[in-house]
Structure 1
Amino acid sequence: MDLDPAACYRAVQSRDRRFDGVFYTAVHSTGIYCRPSCPARTPRVENVSFHPTAAAAHAAGFRACRRCLPDTTPGSPRWDLAADLAGRAMRLVADGVVEREGVEGLARRLGYSSRHLNRVLHAELGAGPLALARAHRAQTARVLIDTTDLPFADVAFAAGFASVRQFNDTIREVYAATPRELRQGRRATPGTGTIELAIGLRAPFAAAELMAFLVRHRVAGVETGGADWFARTMRLPHGAGSLRVELLDDPGRVRLQLRLADLRDTAAAVERARRLLDADADPGAVDDHLARDAGLGPLVRRHPGLRVPGHVDGFEAAVRTVLGQQVSIASASGTAARLASAHGSTFGGGDDVPTVVFPSPAQLAEADPEQWPMPRRRAATVHRLATEVAEGRLELDRGVDRDATRAALLALPGIGPWTVDVVAMRAWGDPDVWLPTDLGTQQALTMLGLRPEAAESWRPWRSYAQSQLWQLVLEQPRPTRRTRPSRPATKEAS
């Protein structure tokens, strides 16, 4: 990853928060690295170097600044924009694949040898997969130390360390302090499987609009929410879990509560929550680009920081999108809820937390599609999709090769471009998806007096333009029963 030192230093001089997480500033005179917006005195230009990842700064011998906490910044939006090998690897590392499957498992998922993967990551990111995973474990541990009362043994376990000794050694090396010193005497309480923390994102953040979208598309039993919060269950690598996100007065943070069957799933659960909120987006770059368009500009200025609603599970997103073909949102959500109730499992419960876990690929593959409450052809499509994923011929996580997986999905009967593009946008984090056949898109374009070809100027942020168009449709008053038009046979996702 090429970094322009002059441009990076200008960002540091201006303390521009938009670059937090995009690169890191290493100060040679102090031996620490900072985020660009660190409030400390700006170092002299001859005393700094710039690194694309925290792992690269660690590998170069620098420690994390204890004032600006550079390891708690949002991730770089580059990984979703480029979707190259380095970006795919970063997403899988954040999901804990190295801890669960090792470097060989990571390389196998990406379709390359471990040697080639090491070479590419060192060239692109300044660190190999082991160093990236180590940095991610340290960052997860730091967040848990700062924001929870978990005992340190539980923190080490939840962050993915193999032992408490490894945890202590890494924390001392990365932060030049012991875990106890970082927590500064806070009293710990026994771990219960429930974790509360805050996750950071870049402002502006159109939080209310995102919550409204998620709540409108909720599947009863699996998801629930209100004006300023959203909760749902999820399948995780070591068991089930649930998350609850709640808006705060601070536009750069969201409160996250996790309930987990296994604390080893902490990092994966946090990563899924970040996906749901599109927390690594760069709203400044997106809004600056889209606001230049005469037709779209007023919408962007009305809703700055509008996110693309994400998803916690690629398979679930694909199934629900298939169920949403040519039917209303309410109908699709109702069908998904009945499917989940009949074939899913249960987890936990409690205040404002649903209990139904959406079925796994294996659970749906083993079920009889003839009994499902949907047309036979659609049931056959869902069953075939579940079978392909359950038997390992298809993967739908965020680290997939988008082009190859798109082709594999399109090869399945009953799945067309609209379905794949919705999955790419919401589950894979593709920032440049355009849905010209979507009913909501067509309605918004008509209201704005725009033609579909206008979207070409919105690249590479067409997914965010899509969100603006859907938001416009949602704001329109609903027609009364007497004037409601007949529904055209088109697909609807908004």
Structure 2
Amino acid sequence: MHTDTERCLRAVQAKDARFDGWFFTAVLTTGIYCRPSCPVVPPKPENMVFHPSAAACQQAGFRACKRCRPDTSPGSPEWNQRADLVARAMRLIADGVVDREGVPGLAARLGYSARQIERQLLAELGAGPLALARAQRAQTARLLIETTALPMAEIAFAAGFSSIRTFNDTVREVYALTPSDLRARAPRGPAGGTPGALSLRLPFRAPLNPDNLFGHLAATAVPGVEEWRDGAYRRTLRLPYGHGIAALTPKPDHIACRLTLSDLRDLPVAISRCRRMLDLDADPVAVDDQLREDPLLAPLVDKAPGRRVPRTVDEAEFAVRAVLGQQVSTAAARTHAARLVTAHGEPVDDPEGGLTHLFPSVDALASVDPESLAMPRTRRTTFTTLVGQLADGSLHLGVESDWPQTRAQLLALPGFGPWTADVIAMRALGDPDAFLPTDLGIRRAAGELGLPSTPSALTARAAAWRPWRAYAVQYLWATDSHPINFLPV
């Protein structure tokens, strides 16, 4: 979008928050960059240039605005609605792969050369993978500086910097303030709190309807791993350097997030996974506008706009749970999963609630005796085949997965039909166009609305909803009285 100068100018002059994260405004006369909704008086058009990323602004020598804090904008929806190389690379960078494995690790995961990835990222985003990762480290450092009392040396290490000097230089370059100055300017929160616990706000593009989003997560919560407590969805997280617990509370203009981490180096990954689970980088206006073009869907959208697709923090975990839930009730699926968690999950300590375990790792599940599973033999075969291929690497489910290719791999497994493959594509892989025409709830809702109710006819009608059919699923599901569609009380 940053190349459409006229459209960008209109967004800046209107201070339109819908475009925050889509592009960034760099002001030539001040040397700062802003989000489109910056509250200051817009500069003259001839003094503005537009960039596709905060990293590109920083590469060009611009500093982040102290007023609108553009580095904290919602992420661009581009990276969660596309399946090409750049989008897959951006999802991996957000998940911390460059910091942990370097650019060669990023390239290996994507199956391209480092040079090819560098070239494509530069062409579209104005910055390569190292610069994009550096911008993320700077934002992590700022968050730790402003929300914790940690010594600066510990913050530098936790944010992924290789030295104190690099940390200091980067913070000064990006924010035009020293780390100490940033801390001095930060508002003082209440004293106390447990070590390693952080409270932050996760921004999103309005509108956001929390009902089905949190209702689905709470209604399907696996005891010990997830819970709804005191108005918050809480769950354990398996992270690269350790584990964590996230508590997520819907607010009118943000999601309140409290993270307790065993290793602060996992902070950016934990934030990225929580945002992805709640689909916070979506563009609800674009989604809803297209779905409203169908006169039979329009009343559902108008009644409760801004529905998101509830996703996951662990793609392999979700796939396993999808198999456990085949042809059984939500309660039965939770029971099956809870038994696996108790027997094979890793214990964690949760002083604030009732979480007890991490969901079992793929390796732990691969060692499960199939005869111990209280399910039909055919589903045992489905389970053991899935976890076996996940464990040996012949099947990989991750943020970088190629959606069509992975769906084809899933359909080749015994016991995997279109419903299971598509629900994994929708909620684990993040495909915004995944569709469930064989789902009974969808077919019933379609019939009540006057839409075709047979899978083939409904699929033909849904072609007009592309590429947002996963969101249409949420609106159709919402016609039911199932607990997944209501915010818990």
Q: Structure 1: where are the runs of 5+ without partners?
A: 479-494
- 1:477: how far off? 13
- 1:189: how far off? 7.8
Residue 431 of structure 2 aligns to a residue in which SS?
Answer: coil
Q: Contact 2:215–2:483 (CA<8 Å) still a contact in 1?
A: no
AA partner of residue 28 (structure 1): L
| Residue number in structure 2 paired with 1:262 | 263
The question of 1:470 aligning with 2:477 is answered yes
When residues 373 and 477 of structure 1 are mapped into structure 2, their CA distance, relative to the original with a 3 A threshold, is: closer
- 1:407: how far off? 1.8
| Residue number in structure 1 paired with 2:212 | 209
* C-alpha distance in structure 1 between counterparts of 2:3 and 2:141, whole Å: 28
Deviations 1:159-195 (A, max 9, x none): 2222332221111111111112112256798982222
- 1:209: how far off? 3.2
Residue 134 of structure 2 aligns to a residue in which SS?
Answer: helix
Runs of 4+ that moved beyond 6 A: 187-191, 475-478
Residue 103 of structure 2 aligns to a residue in which SS?
Answer: helix
* C-alpha distance in structure 2 between counterparts of 1:100 and 1:154, whole Å: 17
Q: Contact 2:21–2:35 (CA<8 Å) still a contact in 1?
A: yes
* C-alpha distance in structure 2 between counterparts of 1:87 and 1:130, whole Å: 16
* C-alpha distance in structure 2 between counterparts of 1:353 and 1:247, whole Å: 20
Q: Tell me which moved more, 201-210 or 437-446.
A: 201-210
When residues 353 and 83 of structure 1 are mapped into structure 2, their CA distance, relative to the original with a 3 A threshold, is: farther
Q: Tell me which moved more, 91-100 or 285-294.
A: 285-294
| Residue number in structure 1 paired with 2:115 | 115
The question of 1:171 aligning with 2:158 is answered no
When residues 92 and 238 of structure 1 are mapped into structure 2, their CA distance, relative to the original with a 3 A threshold, is: same
| Residue number in structure 1 paired with 2:92 | 92
Q: Structure 2: where are the runs of 5+ without partners?
A: 453-457
* C-alpha distance in structure 2 between counterparts of 1:204 and 1:274, whole Å: 16
| Residue number in structure 1 paired with 2:221 | 218
Residue 127 of structure 1 aligns to a residue in which SS?
Answer: coil
Q: Contact 2:2–2:51 (CA<8 Å) still a contact in 1?
A: no
Residue 480 of structure 2 aligns to a residue in which SS?
Answer: helix
User: Could you say what the CA RMSD is over the residues aligned between the two structures, in angstroms?
Assistant: 2.0
AA partner of residue 429 (structure 1): G
- 1:373: how far off? 2.0
| Residue number in structure 2 paired with 1:241 | 244
| Residue number in structure 2 paired with 1:146 | 146
Q: Contact 2:249–2:256 (CA<8 Å) still a contact in 1?
A: yes
Matches within 5 A, 1:41-440: 41-184=41-184, 192-226=195-229, 228-248=231-251, 251-440=252-441
* C-alpha distance in structure 1 between counterparts of 2:484 and 2:357, whole Å: 33
AA partner of residue 257 (structure 1): R
- 1:434: how far off? 1.0
* C-alpha distance in structure 2 between counterparts of 1:326 and 1:459, whole Å: 28
| Residue number in structure 1 paired with 2:455 | none
AA partner of residue 202 (structure 2): I
Q: Contact 1:238–1:265 (CA<8 Å) still a contact in 2?
A: yes
AA partner of residue 446 (structure 1): G
When residues 469 and 151 of structure 1 are mapped into structure 2, their CA distance, relative to the original with a 3 A threshold, is: farther
- 1:475: how far off? 6.2
| Residue number in structure 2 paired with 1:483 | none
AA partner of residue 265 (structure 1): D
AA partner of residue 348 (structure 2): F
TM-score normalised by the chain length of structure 1: 0.92
AA partner of residue 402 (structure 2): D
* C-alpha distance in structure 2 between counterparts of 1:276 and 1:151, whole Å: 31
- 1:369: how far off? 1.6
* C-alpha distance in structure 2 between counterparts of 1:89 and 1:176, whole Å: 29
Q: Contact 1:150–1:190 (CA<8 Å) still a contact in 2?
A: no
AA partner of residue 121 (structure 1): L
* C-alpha distance in structure 2 between counterparts of 1:352 and 1:295, whole Å: 43
Residue 370 of structure 1 aligns to a residue in which SS?
Answer: helix
* C-alpha distance in structure 2 between counterparts of 1:179 and 1:339, whole Å: 45
- 1:424: how far off? 1.4
| Residue number in structure 2 paired with 1:488 | none
Matches within 5 A, 1:16-27: 16-27=16-27
* C-alpha distance in structure 1 between counterparts of 2:253 and 2:428, whole Å: 23
Q: How many residues end up aligned between the 2 structures?
A: 476
- 1:208: how far off? 3.3
* C-alpha distance in structure 1 between counterparts of 2:374 and 2:484, whole Å: 31
* C-alpha distance in structure 2 between counterparts of 1:256 and 1:153, whole Å: 25
| Aligned residues with identical type, % of pairs | 55
AA partner of residue 163 (structure 2): S
Q: Contact 1:306–1:468 (CA<8 Å) still a contact in 2?
A: yes
- 1:476: how far off? 9.6
- 1:226: how far off? 4.7
- 1:411: how far off? 1.8
Deviations 1:236-271 (A, max 9, x none): 1112211111123xx231111112121111111111
Residue 204 of structure 1 aligns to a residue in which SS?
Answer: coil
Q: Contact 2:26–2:50 (CA<8 Å) still a contact in 1?
A: yes
Q: Contact 1:242–1:353 (CA<8 Å) still a contact in 2?
A: no
Residue 25 of structure 1 aligns to a residue in which SS?
Answer: strand
